[in-house]
Structure 1
Amino acid sequence: MKLVDRRMLAPAVGHYVFVRNDGQPLDFIPGQFIQVHFNYADGTATKRSYSLATIHDHTLGPGEAVEIAVSFVPGGAATALFEGLDAGGQIDASGPYGRFCLMPGDQNQRYLLIGTGTGITPYRAMLPQLAQLMSERGIEVVLLFGARTPEELLYGDDFRAFADAHPRFRFVPCFSRELPDNPHADVRHGYVQQHLAEFAPDAGTDIAYLCGNPNMVDACFDALKQAGLAVPQIRREKYVSSK
């Protein structure tokens, strides 16, 4: 794939936009990821996984962009690869992979989407699907997003704009360290797992998705089970930063 654009989402997270060299689309289901393949300095082959953040309605057209968010890890081999990548630079990738997706057979009344850090990217890709489900089935969606500070709220403007346009979608940023100036009424102070109970998880109506920090995923998984949700109603993907 060839890099066509990059920008910083946060002090240590970059947004990268690629197109395939062969001009073909990357047909994926929102929630899936790609693997980027490269070599360490000693020549050893390795790879890193990145959820696709691309917003599209159905399938990508020829040459359309593939978007990912990349966390920079000090001294990381993947960080060196991406930091040194300029427009026109190329990477090797495979995929898409994964089943962290909205299921066609779901009959729930509400989705609880919970994420931290770059674990928010699958939910960005899901926005068109969620809009369709809200329109067709009347579902409700709560997105709880954990970040330390306002400048680390990845894609926050996208989610706030979507919430403003869709009354059935509620965007709840949870800041563990610093609140924004003049915060929205749905902003919370603390960790997402501290505020999950406020939204009264219900086994009769809800399906939950957990993506991001493993400690958050485990804590929310336990809380959801205690609220009565069965394991198939809780879909998980843990993000671990690798050097």
Structure 2
Amino acid sequence: MLAPSVRHLVFARDDGQPLDFIPGQFIQVHFQYPDGTPTKRSYSLATIHDHALGPGEAVEIAVSYVPGGAATALFQAMDEGQQIMASGPYGRFCLMPNDANRRYLLVATGTGVTPYRSMLPKLAELMRTRDIEVVVLFGCRSPAEQLYAGDFLAFAESHPGFRYITCFSREMPAAPRPDDRSGHVQDVLPELAPDPDGDIAYLCGNPNMVDAVFEALKAAGLAVPRIRREKYVSGK
């Protein structure tokens, strides 16, 4: 459990082959409602692959438990060795090879931070080859809901151009870090002084947050093509 209502799950393809994907993409899990009606849910891949060494075999996702949710019932009952059916990868919420920016602003709430975890090796390469800066601005309610914080903090320690800011909307940590903030991600955005010429922003997670930050970035002068969005909507 990454948080009281978020579970980290690791799968492997049953044919033993790796799942090659572009960081930022997602898979769709296919299953049935109790009445037999087929349905599916999408999950961003949290897997960290170093493509310099080739893709690995793990397929990692983070699943939010929604009370009464059909996918929640599926994953809560899942034990080691059980199988799911999935398709993909899909999606274009990825780092673009011709980007000429000076900084990435990666904004997320909840499990919206999972694609940024998968992007870490590529971000390390870009920071080394293009000397860019990266800011992850993550919003959650309390310290118990910091998803993958250990991975981002360790990455920040070894990469001086990387900054990890956490915004707590309800409860601050007992011993806050210098980059811990009280409030929502959109409240902290002005502190980062979004630059219309130098920044490209990625927004992932709660639709209300995505819309609010999108409007704030447009007001700061960022062109719409420099703001890339993926909204997460919980389904029953």
1:134 aligns with 2:88: no
Take 1:184 and 1:129, find their aligned partners in 2: how far apart are those partners? 26
CA offsets per residue over residues 94-132 of structure 1, 9 Å max, x none?
A: 000000000000000000000000000000000000000
The within-5 A match list for 1:72-91 is 72-91=65-84
User: What does 1:169-208 correspond to in 2, within 5 Å?
Assistant: 169-208=162-201
Task: Give the C-alpha shift of residue 165 in structure 1.
Answer: 1.0
Matched with 2:30 is: 37
Distance in 2 (alpha carbons) for counterparts of 1:182 and 1:164: 18
| Counterpart Cα distance in 1 of 2:58 and 2:218 | 38
Q: How does 1:58-77 map to 2 (within 5 A)?
A: 58=51, 59-61=54-56, 64-77=57-70
The equivalent position to 2:86 in structure 1, one of 67, 89, 93, is 93
SS at match of 2:230: strand
Q: How does 1:216-231 map to 2 (within 5 A)?
A: 216-231=209-224
Number of the residue aligned with 1:54: 47
2:55 alignment partner AA: L
Counterparts of 2:171 and 2:154, CA distance in 1: 22
Where in structure 2 are there 5+ consecutive unaligned residues?
none
How far apart in 1 are the matches of 2:160 and 2:175? Answer: 21
User: Aligned letter for 1:65?
Assistant: A
**Residue 60 of structure 1: CA displacement?**
1.8
Cα shift at 1:54: 0.2
1-structure distance, mates of 2:175, 2:4: 22
SS at match of 1:136: helix
Distance 1:147 1:164 in 2: 22
2:227 to 227, 234, 243: 234
Q: Distance in 1 between matches of 2:174 and 2:121?
A: 30
Amino acid across the alignment from 1:97: Y
TM-score by length of 2: 0.98
**Unaligned 5+ runs, structure 1:** 1-7
Query: In structure 1, what is the Cα distance between the partners aligned to 2:156 and 2:43?
Result: 25
Corresponding residue for residue 26 of structure 1? 19
- Alignment correspondent of 2:106: 113
SS at 1:219's partner residue? helix
Does residue 156 in structure 1 map to residue 126 in structure 2?
A: no
1:10 corresponds to 2:3: yes
Consecutive aligned runs of 4 or more in structure 1 exceeding 6 Å deviation = none
Quick one: which amino acid aligns to residue 223 of structure 2? A
Give, as a single letter, the amino acid of the residue that structure 2 aligns with 1:113.
L
Question: How far 1:182 moved relative to its partner?
Answer: 1.2
> Whole-Å Cα distance in 2 between the matches of residues 211 and 101 of structure 1?
12
Cα displacement (A) at 1:164? 1.1
Report the count of equivalent residues: 234
Q: Secondary structure at the match of 1:224?
A: helix
CA-CA distance at 1:162 after TM superposition: 0.7
Task: Return the alpha-carbon distance in structure 2 between the equivalents of residues 162 and 189 of structure 1.
Answer: 23
